[in-house]
Structure 1
Amino acid sequence: MRKGKQDKAICQIMFYIIFTTIVCFTTNNVILGVSADRGAWIGGNIFCQLFAYFSNSLISFTILASTLATFERRYAVIDPDKHLQVFTPINNKLLLVGFYMLAVLLCAGPLYGWGEYSNFKGVMKILISVTLEKNTTEISTELRQNATLSSILCQQMNGTQYNTLQDLSKRLESTILQEWQKIYSRSVMNNCKTGQIMLLLRAENTNIADILSQAVLSSRFDDVIMERAMNDSVGLETGLLMKSSLDRHEYQSYRDAYISFQSIGVCTLDFSPTNDYVLSSTLYMLCTTVLAPLLLMVMNTLIIFKYIKCPYYSLNDDVTYLKSVNYGGIATALCCVPYYVINFMNMHGIVIYRTLNIFCTAMFYNASLCVTVSFLIDYIFKSFKKRSTGQPLMETTELQSIVESAAE
């Protein structure tokens, strides 16, 4: 009877993991397959944020729940009496719901600016410098007498400084997005004292990025923004010039490393140094959702090894689901490591092949299959073994009872 209750506890935990795995497998693989085939994200920014947040939260939950499963097996082996007191059905439900909430909280940082969920990687930086046109007669007489750039761009209105470049920045952004399709703006920064505007843009693919970069390096980009943005900006005199520039080395790194990396099309955690907090946020998520649970699972495994003083293959049948839960849980966490490795490599501008990117991302999305499949194989094997030996099938209705109790 005690053994049956212990098995019921692990089956209850595994039911939640199996359900989450089915949702992850279906959602993530459909999105990854469609996006990779298209070469671009299939939805808008809101869907991007929701999908990345949803998928990362569920993957994190399966790792956390797998850690709980190893603790449950540890107590089942070392202290069966305490196990029956701690891992009751109601306690298991509370712990699992708590882990769902914990996973949601751990992955929420990028939604509030601490890191970033995006289908783009990196940015294309275009610097626009606003200067005074020499020997111009188009500036008003009052401004000509004290014609400094800051006095024109940083105007005083009602005792407060007014940045006239803000209106120009908005018009520039709107003009670029209309003129060059599939170019997206991440942010625009301006400084009226220096007369500089920094555009942080993102291209959907290398062809679009090349078209825009060629326009900047030629006179076409300047002609377009002078004609459509500069002349229509409120509060700016006509005696001003704009000159755009693009760092070719930075652009080549963005083109080769980041655009090729984003070509799988899925919306994930952006590891590129675009966000000021990218390193702290990614390390936080890696440590709390992968490395820390992995260390705990390894620790539980070693404690059980020390307690039973024998390798796993010599355990008797009283220790049920020990190999599948411990091995599968550790494998689940380890499957997430390649995903973080290639993303950290890409953060430093290292080119990652598209096939390798898809493979590591698929491993990350399907990591929970390790613990799920290993448990189901172990469960089915034990069921067939009991049928063949004619033993009472006390566990044949366990999963059904767990499902019914979970539905309640």
Structure 2
Amino acid sequence: MTDASALDLPGDDLFGPDNLPYGLFSPANAGPRDTPAGADGRPRIGVRYGSHVLDAGAVAAALGSPHAELLQQPLLNPLMAAGRPVWQAVRAELRGWLTGPDRRDTVARHLYPLSGVELRLPFEVADYVDFYASEHHASNVGRIFRPDSEPLTPNWKHLPIGYHGRAGTVVVSGTPVVRPQGQRKPPAEAVPQFGPSARLDIEAEVGFVVGTPSRLGEPAGLDAFRDHVFGVCLLNDWSARDIQAWEYVPLGPFLGKSFQTSVSPWITPVDALDAARTEPPARDFPLLPYLDDSAADGHEPGGFDIRITVTLNGRKTAEPPFSSMYWTAAQQLAHMTVNGASLRTGDLFASGTVSGPDPDQLGSLLELTGGKGPFLADGDEVTLTAWAPGPSGTRIGLGAVSGRVEPARTV
């Protein structure tokens, strides 16, 4: 495994004791990457600490933790379903084990170098919802797709627009991205064509993972966010813009989005981002009461100051600021349950593309190129990384999410 020196992290490490994100790991070459468990993989819950992974279940059992059974499960869902008091208790235990001097040798025996493990999809995805929460992104896309109309639809500033995606195509970082095929209609053609997407794109997003479920018919309000949302991750909702442009009227995204969504293997607890809380941008219209998150009503700031970096083939292309998002994750949760829709453990909802007001802050190639391209070529690799302010001037890292494009597979 390793020795106790792995516990001695520099103060500027992005994955220090103020972070402690959860993941799922197994020995390398143990099976498919996009499954939370495999017959030969012996998956186990891990907590990232610097450049190592702590076998949370093994150390919990060794130290007699009352939460050992939850931490010995082959995926995060049972821990996520246990609720916030348990999340807080487990987090406090982990922090104590990793930073306290009295159990140092025991903890060190259960550390694995990141280079020696296979990271897996950390939770079983129940439902997936993708939102459209950036005013800058929505305006840019509106001008490209609907040049003769107002960039924003009339409802955009009154409710968080979203759509239901495909939970079964959410995969862990590193899973190859097979170029999708579908119908696409170039403007100069009279009828649609079928073939591989020629306008394959990225969407730099932040995802939120639901832990505690809710009852059918009972909405979750703004102040229920911390009780229901277990953690946060980076997310790339790959998009086929040519397929999307032909199909999205009138019912919205379908095949242009559903082929693959990549998530980080690390889920950062919501409580780790307390120092990154920030007020969202000023609202242009009064909000209905169930969405009104004004500080005057006693609500905590709903935004998060998360700084994202997008790299294409190792070259930085954009730095989208999550603090610029018009709609917050708490508002998204409130809106998607206000009609009585229930939450399930493992539900994933995403922010939509994160874009800021400046040219180097755009979270999609569609925006970065003004809709003209170039878009992704076979062999291209995209990586999203991010950090957020932590306590006492530290930084909290969000686990990276990467994917490399592979050629389309013929029907």
TM-score scaled by length of structure 2 = 0.22
Higher strand share: 2
Higher helix share: 1
Q: Which of these two proteins has the greater Rg computed from alpha carbons?
A: 1
TM-score scaled by length of structure 1 = 0.22
